Amino acid sequence: MPSDPDGVLASALDLAAAYRRRETDPVSVVDALLARIEALDAEVGAFVTVTADEARAAAASARDALRGPSADLLPPLFGIPTALKDLTPTAGIRTTFGSAAFADLVPDADGTAAVRVAAAGMISLGKTNTPELGLPCYTEPDVAPPARTPYDLTRGAGGSSGGAAAAVAAGLLPVAVGSDGGGSIRIPASSCGLVGFKPTRGLVPGTPEEIDVSGLAVPGPLATTVADAAALLDVLALTGARLSDACERAPGRLRVARFADPVIGDLPPDPEVLDAYEEMSRLLVKLGHDVVDVAPPFGPETVAAFETVWFVGAASAPVPREREELLRPLTRWERERGRAASGTEYAAALLAMRQAEQRTLEAYEAYDMVLTPTLGQLPAPVGSLRDDSDPAADFAAQKAFTPYTSVWNIAGAPAVSLPTGWSTEGLPIGTMLAAHPGADVLLMSLAAQVEDACSAPGDPWRRPQTLVGAR
């Protein structure tokens, strides 16, 4: 492990406890993390914008509050550093949406995630890297270097919360806020060896301006531990300690359905991905759960409906006409297809998704959880999915890379990627658990049980050394 004199590689909750024991303080931690960002971010591509001055000012205020007479009344993650995905509007701070078309945009109001993080007393160090409009499952925008997994700097961090995942995995942040419309938290969590939790649709309510008509996208946490993910989700969802308390409760004996056949695309999963999936299945049985093979919940007809809704969503992004030419070829291709869909076709696609949601929930009604791989493949080499000359091929490659995650966006159900596997080359492999809508507490309890079963002294996930010496 690398030298860590300031304790900044501790979990968020461990840092919070250290604050209250006066072993460190937010000023020391923020300064140390900013130094790590300066030293390592050129390698991992985690940030688009670093707000060092604002973070230092917030850290000084947090330090004073933690030393004050009301310190015991402060929120659990008060003074803990984090960052906001560059899809989240932040008042007075550049927000690019991962696009050259918005390279100079400075919003005048905060999005919900920014408001919740500030209300909890957390300290944002800036805006994390994301692909253009959050559309691809790789993070290689025009406004920042590619986001890379610290476990192999030739490979991407995934997307669209790739910068958030790279930052946490490289020890630049203890926790980070992501968002997930088709896997955008869980994909980078798998690529970067993290816990990535997509909550139930509606658990984190947004403002009227943030409503997603498709019902696909939700904010959520990326973290190194399940407890940290639960604590950050409590901040975002305003649920008090309900999800955090779930980490201390055994889930009981559960019925777990499982499948590994790709839901979208027909590329077989990588053998090492399947090995991790089988190992996770054996672990669940060892923990006392019943594991049953099932079929995927739907087929190509639902995938086509999802794509129509996705493309219309891309087309609805308010890009100024005079800046359309600054968009990437993939984005323009998706927007053209979205504009080509009639209102009737869009309504039919939305209906088909809702019907698929109902079929999915009915198919797995007898089970408490569903297990799949998170991704179909190992973390993808930087540039290997992107194809500016053929956006259709680009989109097809993305589907083959991530054939499982969007099921749970369609279903509105909670899902978590856990870093339960490692390839022979030391690359992280995630496995995914999903639950019924509203069963976030039970899912968090099971995730914590799995983490505990995988624990080794000083490290809950037995992770190998990273190239940047991160964790």
pLDDT tens sequence across 388-418: 999 999 999 999 999 999 999 999 999 999 9
Q: Round to whole Å and give the CA distance between 41 and 53.
A: 17
Domain containing 349 — which CATH number? 3.90.1300.10
Provide the pLDDT for residue 273.
Answer: 98
On whether residue 225 sits in a domain, the answer given is yes
Could you list the beta-strand ranges (E) of 158-300: 175-180, 195-198, 218-223, 255-258, 290-293
On whether residue 223 sits in a domain, the answer given is yes
On whether residue 25 sits in a domain, the answer given is yes
On whether residue 339 sits in a domain, the answer given is yes
Do 352 and 301 touch, CB atoms closer than 8 A? yes
In this prediction, residue 455 has a pLDDT band, given cuts at 50, 70 and 90, of: confident
**Residue 462, amino acid:** R
Provide the pLDDT for residue 1.
Answer: 33
Provide the pLDDT for residue 9.
Answer: 85
pLDDT at 301 over 60: yes
CA–chain centroid gap for 380, Å, is 17
pLDDT at 463 over 50: yes
* % the chain with pLDDT above 70: 98
369-373/255-258 β-pairing: parallel
Collapsing DSSP to helix, strand or coil, 323 comes out as helix
On whether residue 458 sits in a domain, the answer given is no
- Tell if the pTM clears 0.85, that is, is over it: yes
Q: What is the DSSP letter of 90?
A: B
Helices (H), 89-133: 112-119
175-180/369-373 β-pairing: unpaired
Give 63-91 pLDDT, tens digit per residue. 999 999 999 999 999 999 999 999 999 99
On whether residue 6 sits in a domain, the answer given is no
Tell me the CB-side half-sphere exposure of residue 403, using CA atoms within 13 A. Answer: 27
Cβ burial of 100 (10 Å; 0-12, 13-18, 19+) is middle
pLDDT at 467 over 80: no
Please count the structural domains in the chain.
1
In this prediction, residue 5 has a pLDDT band, given cuts at 50, 70 and 90, of: low
Provide the pLDDT for residue 206.
Answer: 87
* Active-site annotation, residues: 85, 160, 184
Provide the pLDDT for residue 163.
Answer: 98
Range of the domain at 334: 12-453
The average pLDDT across 243-261 equals 97
Strands ordered across the beta sheet of 428-435:
175-180, 218-223, 195-198, 415-422, 428-435, 369-373, 255-258, 290-293
Could you list the beta-strand ranges (E) of 286-396: 290-293, 369-373
DSSP assignment of 11-50 = -HHHHHHHHHTTS--HHHHHHHHHHHHHHHHHHH--EEEE
On whether residue 239 sits in a domain, the answer given is yes
* % the chain with pLDDT above 90: 91
Torsion of CA 6, 228, 427, 408, to 10 degrees: -160
On whether residue 464 sits in a domain, the answer given is no
Q: Round to whole Å and give the CA distance between 157 and 147.
A: 5
Give 312-354 pLDDT, tens digit per residue. 999 999 999 999 999 999 999 999 999 999 999 999 999 999 9
Give 358-384 pLDDT, tens digit per residue. 999 999 999 999 999 999 999 999 999
Lowest mean pLDDT segment, chosen from 399-413, 420-434, 449-463 = 449-463
